[in-house]
Amino acid sequence: MEIKVNTDSHITGSEAMIEKFSLELKKKLSRFSEYITGADIFFADENRGKFGTDDKRCTIEVRPKNMNNEAVTHYADTLGHAFNGAVDKIRSLLDTQIGKLQSR
């Protein structure tokens, strides 16, 4: 599964950060690996660098085989919390979508 990490101009996307989130997503979606060809992670700071509550956004888009792309978004105080919330949402969505495929 190919994973791309993107950030807006207010978040510095270091190599370490990109590798950390890529590896973590790959690990957390490993049970779906035969169904997913790739994923994109998008990070944004809604307040453009100013402090704010739930101002970090993480959107995760996955590209399942033979299905439409699916995306979820989660807002939190930190990038890590936003990422974890988005991962929980995408796993739930994939459980539903893949479950429908498996029951056919």
Pairing of strands 2-7, 36-45: parallel
Residues 4-21 have pLDDT tens digits of 999 998 888 889 999 999
Alpha-carbon gap, residue 81 to 98, rounded angstroms: 25
pTM over 0.85? The answer is yes
- Domains annotated for the chain, with CATH where assigned, are 2-102 (3.30.160.100)
Residues 31-73 have pLDDT tens digits of 999 999 999 999 999 877 666 677 899 999 999 988 899 999 9
CA angle (17, 19, 21) in 5-degree steps: 70
Token reading at 53: 């509550």
